[in-house]
Structure 1
Amino acid sequence: MKAIALTSFGIPEVLEELEVPIPALTDTQVLVEMRASSINPADILFRSGAILQSPMADKFPDQFQLPLVLGNEAAGIVKEVGEKVRHFKPGDRVMGMVQRGSYMDYVAVEEDLLAVIPESLSFEEAGAAPTVALTAWQALFEHGRLQPGQRILVQAGAGGVGHAAVQLAKQHGAYVIATARDYNHDFVKGLGADEVFDYTKVDIATQITDPVDIVLDSAMDPSTFGTGLPGEIGKKNYSVIRDGGTYISVVAFAINQYPKVRDIDARFFQARPNRTDFESIVRHMKENKLSIHIDEIYPFTAQGLLQAYRKSEESPKRGKIVISKNMG
């Protein structure tokens, strides 16, 4: 089968199509014929090699061997199931996550990392959703314990995680403040945000006069990437959170080492894939309570993925960039 892999780290041109064996299944795995996947910020950091030069490299000790297949989101059709699999059968349409390596024709996925998707949901939508929707879901409801009527600031409200979080928080009855560039303000307000600020032009510390209960930060501050500690954006986040509030970061991986400020519960987390949460997300999408915005779709080929990576490094962009077998 075909896999699109890195043969070295660097520019998108390092991607190549390789022939690799179809993965063998364990008893608890499902073989999925891929239809769509997408790009996340972590994929860009791996592909460029930037993550090798950062303190985060220690968190991925076994994931730098070349050739390396990137991608962790999967949407497709079940072709085969392991002997102990009980929730899926051949022919099911599914979406889910793999730890690494979804840019290939077939992927082996643990049963608990998948959910069935309805016919009303396209493979492209499903391929865009798992990481960002799951991250937003768990940040808001598991880590943030968001309650109706609370005030929340979503940093990078037009991005993958951010645009999902704005919708979910509004659906849950929160007052939603978001940051986004000027050209994305109408888009983010259309998702349900009550207020939107361009963090490159205004100081949110002076614009947000009533403290927020929760901050969800998915904005990649260069200084944060280098140290894992809150950078300039992080300092602004602290300034707008109420005493005893919650600061959830998906970028500041060393925030737990930061001195405690005004009893604020500050935490970094990475999404924990599981079928129950995926099923909740699928239900929200089916009921039109959550829509994953697709910025652009490219062919599921080395050239298509190259173009998708080029697009992902440009501005402006909104939501997710998808690669699909239905293209090209």
Structure 2
Amino acid sequence: MKAIALTSFGIPEVLEELEVPVPTITDTQVLIEMRVSSINPADILLRSGAILKSPMADKFPAQLPLVLGNEVAGIVKEVGEKVRHFKPGDRVMGMIPMGSYMDYVAVEEDHLAIIPESLSFEEAGAAPAVALTAWQALFEHGRLQPGQRILVQAGAGGVGHAAVQLAKQHGAYVIATARDYNHDFVKGLGADEVFDYTKVDFAAQITEPVDLVLDSAMDPSTFGSTFGTGLPGEIGKKNYSVIKDGGTYISLAAFAINQYPKVRDIDAYFFQARPNRTDFESIVRHMKENKLNIHIDETYPFTAQGLLEAYRKSEEMPKRGKIVLSKNTG
């Protein structure tokens, strides 16, 4: 079968199509014929080799060739002996730790959910990581309640645009940051206020403290400046300034924020989503009921050239939602 893999770390041109064996599934796994996958920020940082030069290097494999990607939507081809919720022919979406840029992917049963015919593979394949991250950050760790105030950094991005919708659906007052050209997009998702943190001091613009900050920004002023230490940078420190005493700060960028001295009794977390079928089923239900719409910025064919172009697109502005790879394109 075909896989698109890194043969060295660096620019997108290092990607190659390789022939690899079809995965052998365990008793608890499902073999998926991949139809759609997508790009996430961690894929970009791995491809470039940036993560391997950071304190997080031991959490990621470095052996080449390396197949990236962790989101998948497709058709069940085979199930393990202990699998009870899926059968061959089912349309599913889910997550794996790494390696979704392949024709066939082995996925744990608990990391999948059935997708209805009303959702395309493209919509489903763009959703798992960003929707699950937003869902668990808001409701599991953030314990967001109706009527509370939340700041979503990078409200037009993958996680951010899902979080804005979910928070608004839950009855929160939503403040978001986004570049000027994305303001109408983010307001259309439900944000009550939107600020361009590259042009104004968002902390000075927010007149009433927020209960929760979800920082999904991966731009140089946050992720880039803190990558060496994993501690909050300039934007992170401003995030603290707008959170009420005893509030919550969830960061997807500052991976050492848990070690940061506690400020005004604010609970601070570095967060990574944990796949599970129950949460995925809740996300699918929200998508089916049009309570959550994953915006697809661009779709590229599942080829080495397609993935190269997708990565190049991901480096450009403006960015909105997700970039997907599809076998239905090209």
Q: Same fold (TM over 0.5)?
A: yes
Give the aligned CA root-mean-square deviation in angstroms. Answer: 0.7
Q: Report if aligned partners of 1:117, 1:282 keep a CA contact under 8 Å in 2.
A: yes
Which whole-Å CA distance do the structure 1 matches of 2:51 and 2:105 have between them? 24
Unaligned runs of 5+ in 1: none
Question: Given the two structures, how large is their TM-score scaled by the length of structure 1?
Answer: 0.98
Which whole-Å CA distance do the structure 1 matches of 2:219 and 2:120 have between them? 33
Query: Percent same amino acid at aligned positions?
Result: 91
In the TM superposition, residue 284 of structure 1 has moved relative to its aligned partner by 0.2
In the TM superposition, residue 60 of structure 1 has moved relative to its aligned partner by 2.4
Task: Give the match for residue 205 of structure 2.
Answer: 207
1:296 to 287, 295, 298: 298
In the TM superposition, residue 227 of structure 1 has moved relative to its aligned partner by 1.5
Q: Report if aligned partners of 1:221, 1:233 keep a CA contact under 8 Å in 2.
A: no
In the TM superposition, residue 225 of structure 1 has moved relative to its aligned partner by 1.9
DSSP 3-state at the match of 2:214: strand
Q: Report if aligned partners of 1:221, 1:232 keep a CA contact under 8 Å in 2.
A: no
In the TM superposition, residue 221 of structure 1 has moved relative to its aligned partner by 5.0
In the TM superposition, residue 56 of structure 1 has moved relative to its aligned partner by 1.6
Q: Report if aligned partners of 1:136, 1:165 keep a CA contact under 8 Å in 2.
A: yes
Which whole-Å CA distance do the structure 2 matches of 1:313 and 1:55 have between them? 24
Q: How many residues align?
A: 325
Which whole-Å CA distance do the structure 2 matches of 1:125 and 1:311 have between them? 19
DSSP 3-state at the match of 2:36: strand
1:45 and 2:45 aligned: yes
In the TM superposition, residue 204 of structure 1 has moved relative to its aligned partner by 1.2
Cα deviations by residue, 1:30-76 (Å, 9 ceiling, x for unpaired): 00000000000000000001111111213225xxx100000000000
Structure 1 consecutive aligned stretches of length 4 or more whose deviation exceeds 3 Å: none
DSSP 3-state at the match of 2:236: helix
In the TM superposition, residue 173 of structure 1 has moved relative to its aligned partner by 0.1
DSSP 3-state at the match of 1:68: coil
Q: Report if aligned partners of 2:52, 2:60 keep a CA contact under 8 Å in 1.
A: no
- Between 14-23 and 212-221, report the one with greater CA deviation: 212-221
Question: Given the two structures, how large is their TM-score scaled by the length of structure 2?
Answer: 0.98
In the TM superposition, residue 269 of structure 1 has moved relative to its aligned partner by 1.1
Which whole-Å CA distance do the structure 1 matches of 2:219 and 2:199 have between them? 15
Which whole-Å CA distance do the structure 1 matches of 2:44 and 2:204 have between them? 33
Cα deviations by residue, 1:260-313 (Å, 9 ceiling, x for unpaired): 100000111100000000000000000000000000000011110000000001
DSSP 3-state at the match of 2:168: helix
DSSP 3-state at the match of 1:69: coil
DSSP 3-state at the match of 2:140: helix
DSSP 3-state at the match of 1:226: coil
Cα deviations by residue, 1:209-256 (Å, 9 ceiling, x for unpaired): 100000000112541222100001101100100000000011110001
Which whole-Å CA distance do the structure 2 matches of 1:324 and 1:220 have between them? 25
- Between 52-61 and 289-298, report the one with greater CA deviation: 52-61
Unaligned runs of 5+ in 2: none
- Between 212-221 and 14-23, report the one with greater CA deviation: 212-221
Cα deviations by residue, 1:132-170 (Å, 9 ceiling, x for unpaired): 000000000000000000000000000000000000000
